[in-house]
Amino acid sequence: MKLFKQMTVAAAMTVGLAAYSGHAAAEKDTILIGEINSYKTLPANLEPYKKGWELAQEQVNAKGGVLGKKLETIFRDDNANAGDAVRIAEELISRDNVDILAGVTLSHVGLAVTDFAKQRERFFLASGPLSDKVVWDNGNRYTYRLRAGTHALAASVAPAAAAANKKRWALIYPNYEYGQAAVASFKAELKRLQPDVEFVAEQAPPFGRLDPGPAVQALADAKPDAIFNVLFGPDLTKFAREGKTRGLFEGRTVVSLLTGEPEYLDPLRADAPDGWIVTGYPYTSIDTPEHDAFIKAYEEKYDDYPRLNSVIGYSTVMALAAGIEKAGSTDTEALIKAFKGLEFVTPFGPVKFRELDNQSTMGIHVGKLAVENNRGVMPEGEYIPGEELQPPDDVVKQLRKDG
């Protein structure tokens, strides 16, 4: 019996070692990416994002992968919680042995993972957190960001806001890092262009907890000439519907970040606002070879139209593939060096990462909303390259403390 037990243990160990060796061999054939995001909290954003990601990964792998290896991704949900995101990032590195960290949409989560990357000295490509602290105040050599941030968003709409020549502005925004930063940047940019502007009211509900009736009434009571809106997701839907019901937007200019993105317009349907100045994604009117190829592949694979986050997910993978190829490995120091000035192709055309602050030059579409066939659309928009929307280099250098 004792000899049988010894033989059984030895056999189990042999099988285990064989399985481990097989897994290790499989790992050598793949580049493993750990992707962290708020899938349960922001499904309208992140389901399209994941589709775009998987489309790009499929295309890269169909061409032989990167450095002769296939890309593989482990997707993890951060529950919109910074502490959970850091714990997951540690698990991805220590338990799952990922080669690269990427992802994140919410700004407070992005800041937490940015700091984690610095502490653990691991490369992190932030897909979409909008807080500029990710690349400026809290920026570090390990963190790069794909999507344009709050300053660029505010700078993209400020000229149109100033051209409206409205003196009294009210503001509404989610009371966390993204909303606060977006409003601060908009105020500064509009004051620069229109020095006599006044900000007469602010509503800053907690993210995801807007009580639309009192908020809309408070804005109306201030009798503004114009409104700057930074709400998104369900908060935006409630605000737009309540404001329309109460006539808040009648005769007033409204400037709104993100609202022209299909993921936010779709839930509103016929209640979508008409004539708002917005940033967004006019996917039906973008006529470039890169976008034509992307939208054709996306529609063929999913039988659906893309959202802006589809572009973000797709472009993140394309950036990673180009960076790893240039680096020749997934070594952190090699990636840091490779991503400095890295050029890669997105559905919006060629983009690069700035050496100054690790921010990509992906741009922003600005246009006006319309309601067509009982649904909100952004029929067209001007594409403003990201490099045209950044502060002067000396300002960025003062903000950024780590190279």
Instruction: From first to last of the 403 residues of the chain, give the pLDDT tens digit.
Output: 333 344 333 444 333 433 333 334 344 699 999 999 999 999 999 999 999 999 999 999 999 999 999 999 999 999 999 999 999 999 999 999 999 999 999 999 999 999 999 999 999 999 999 999 999 999 999 999 999 999 999 999 999 999 999 999 999 999 989 999 999 999 999 999 999 999 999 999 998 899 999 999 999 999 999 999 999 999 999 999 999 999 999 999 999 999 999 999 999 999 999 999 999 999 999 999 999 999 999 999 999 999 999 999 999 999 999 999 999 999 999 999 999 999 999 999 999 999 999 999 999 999 999 999 999 999 999 999 999 999 999 999 999 976 5
The reply to whether 337 and 260 lie within a common domain is no
The reply to whether 205 and 327 lie within a common domain is no
Contact 223, 167 (CB under 8 A): no
CA distance 19 to 402: 43
Q: What is the pLDDT of residue 403?
A: 54
- For residue 195, give the CATH number of its domain: 3.40.50.2300
The reply to whether 124 and 157 lie within a common domain is no
Tell me whether residue 162 is in a domain: yes
**Dihedral, 160, 166, 168, 174 alpha carbons, nearest 10:** -20
As for how many domains the chain has, the answer is 2
The reply to whether 137 and 201 lie within a common domain is no
The reply to whether 69 and 161 lie within a common domain is no
Tell me whether residue 260 is in a domain: yes
Q: What is the pLDDT of residue 7?
A: 39
Tell me whether residue 270 is in a domain: yes
Structural domain that includes position 315: 12-18+21-149+287-363
The reply to whether 132 and 196 lie within a common domain is no
The reply to whether 311 and 191 lie within a common domain is no
Q: Is 158 helix (H, G, I), strand (E, B) or coil?
A: helix
Tell me whether residue 374 is in a domain: yes
Q: What is the pLDDT of residue 79?
A: 97
Tell me whether residue 201 is in a domain: yes
Q: What is the pLDDT of residue 329?
A: 97
Tell me whether residue 139 is in a domain: yes
Per 3-state DSSP, the chain is made up of helix, strand and coil in percentages (nearest 5) of: 50, 20, 30
For helices 233-245 and 212-221, give the axis angle rounded to 10 degrees: 60
Strand 253-260 to strand 349-352: parallel, antiparallel, or no bridges (unpaired)? unpaired
Tell me whether residue 1 is in a domain: no
Q: What is the pLDDT of residue 28?
A: 65
The reply to whether 160 and 298 lie within a common domain is no
Contact 181, 133 (CB under 8 A): yes
The reply to whether 257 and 347 lie within a common domain is no
Burial of 105 (0-12, 13-18, 19+ CB in 10 A): buried
Q: What is the pLDDT of residue 160?
A: 98
The reply to whether 266 and 302 lie within a common domain is no
The reply to whether 128 and 94 lie within a common domain is yes
Tell me whether residue 3 is in a domain: no
Q: What is the pLDDT of residue 26?
A: 43
Q: What is the pLDDT of residue 401?
A: 76
Dihedral sign of CA atoms 180, 183, 188, 189 in order: positive
The reply to whether 188 and 316 lie within a common domain is no
Q: Among candidates 75, 96, 63, which has minimal Cα distance to 321?
A: 63
CA distance 378 to 50: 23
Q: What is the pLDDT of residue 14?
A: 38
